[in-house]
Amino acid sequence: MGNLVIREVKRQLLTLPTATLAGAAWNNNGEVIVVDDDDEAIAVSDEYAPEHLELMTDRNDYYVDRLTNYGSLFVGEESTVAYGDKGVGTNHTLPTGKAARYTGGLWAGKFIKTVTYQRLTPQASRRIAPAMARLCHAEGMLAHEITASVRFNRYAPSNTE
């Protein structure tokens, strides 16, 4: 099956108007990987973390539900990178060089400040304190360990009644 892909790329390069550039890209970076099953294909794709990923399979929904590392995903034969780049996509500023492993494409939310907070009940604080203290100790963060231990003692049932 991989040989068929290689033959098709070579065939298309014969008539492609940008064959010089595309041919150089193919020769320098082109790669065909043959996998045994869908899950291996997903693992390979997530490792590559491509900027653009065109998905054309008999099980597109299976892939959509499991793929995690890509800049923009184009699902099905009806979709194409050209559409996303030029009109129907959310953006054209996408992560390259495998950066899709840890970030997505540029969107309005990248310009919005987000903040988070935590709020625990005394009982929840006491319940989580021992595990947090052990973790802090293991990481050498001894002052953090102390703050967890203080809360464990502070919220003992006799102290919170």
Whether the pTM exceeds 0.85: the reply is no
- Enzyme catalytic residues: 51-52
At which residue do the structure tokens 């990923």 appear?
A: 53
At which residue do the structure tokens 């907070």 appear?
A: 117
pLDDT per residue over 110-129, tens digit each?
A: 778 776 768 889 999 999 99
Instruction: Tell me what the mean pLDDT of segment 80-93 comes to.
Output: 73
Show the domains of the chain with their CATH numbers. 1-34 (no CATH), 36-106 (3.40.50.1980), 122-160 (no CATH)
Angstrom distance (rounded) from CA 94 to CA 74 = 13
- Tell me what pLDDT residue 115 has: 66
Residue 91 has pLDDT above 90, yes or no: no
Q: Would you give the DSSP letter of residue 80?
A: -
Instruction: Tell me what the mean pLDDT of segment 74-78 comes to.
Output: 89
